[in-house]
Structure 1
Amino acid sequence: MTDFADTQSMGLEEHPSIDAALDEFRKHIKEYRKVSNDEGVWLFLSTLGCWSVTSPILQLAAFAVALIIFSKRLKNRIKEKKSFPKSEEIIRQRIHEESVGKEVLQRRLARLENIRGAYRIGMRPIFDNGVFAICWLFYGASVVLHMMH
């Protein structure tokens, strides 16, 4: 089993086994959640910094720059670019195409469903992260408050 940090991309189409693809999928979800929480802290700190700018126009520019930097940092730290539902769909298709025997098919589908259930895929996973959600809400409230003044 390869370590997530060692993988360039999940490359679900290239995995030699479906079981390895399932392992990578689970690791990718866990890593995504960790990274988004880590980067959420930086979004929070940069939002606090935006409030120290006294000029309203420059403050608005600071909010925009903070969002751009946050988005770029998050994008650069996430190795796999496919959405969770798209990755799940690719794995599900491979399971149906490559599983030999009904028992193997059912075992792999059950494993995929366990991963899906454990990480609530399809329920906007990015907002399942408490730290990230709070930091994002603070950023949004700050921008709205700025616009109201």
Structure 2
Amino acid sequence: MSEEIRTEFIDRIECLRARISSRYNILNLEAIWLFVATLGCWSVDQKIIQIFALLIVLVFFSSKVSKDKKYDISTVQASKALRADIEASVLEGDSKEARLYNLDDIDKNLLGLKGIYKSTPMFLISYGFWIVSAITFAFRFFSVQ
């Protein structure tokens, strides 16, 4: 019985790791479209339309990225629930510690800021470009001429 439980937790941990990696890949793929759409906003001549277009890009991108219907709970909630299940399980000693270590590794290397920076560089660059564009457009809109 203990071996089956150990294997189940190993599978759940690997599923969580795969889920996080998949999510980061999706963000990086969507980042290309965010960059292209933001770049398209630069071609608009009217300042108010430019700002409006940039806001539409943000709304479309945010809604597309946030519509992850695959899972009922967030990855952080899934990690916490898995940790609680491991701690409440009948696993003992090294087996339990190894599963908790695997989970800590995911929390540190995939869910921590450093892991996010390493895993989603295209998303961060595209989002940074959107922010710089928004600041530039706002500055141009509100500057006195």
Relative contact order, CA 8 A, sep 6+: which one is greater? Answer: 2
1:107-134, CA deviations, whole angstroms, 9 ceiling, x for partnerless residues? 2112212323332x23275544111111
* SS in structure 1 at match of 2:91: coil
Q: Percent identity?
A: 26
- Rounded to whole Å, the distance in 2 between the matches of 1:99 and 1:117 is 25
RMSD: 2.1
Question: Structure 2 matches for 1:129-148, cutoff 5 A?
Answer: 129-148=120-139
Task: Tell me how many residue pairs correspond in the alignment.
Answer: 133
- Rounded to whole Å, the distance in 2 between the matches of 1:48 and 1:122 is 30
Structure of greater Rg: 2
Q: CA deviation at 1:97?
A: 0.9
1:47-103, CA deviations, whole angstroms, 9 ceiling, x for partnerless residues? 011111111111111001101111122123563364433222111101001242222
TM-score, normalising length: structure 1: 0.79
Unaligned 5+ residue runs, structure 2?
Answer: 1-6, 141-145
Structure-2 change in CA distance of 1:71 and 1:124 (3 Å): farther
Unaligned 5+ residue runs, structure 1?
Answer: 1-15
1:18-41, CA deviations, whole angstroms, 9 ceiling, x for partnerless residues? 222211110011011101111111
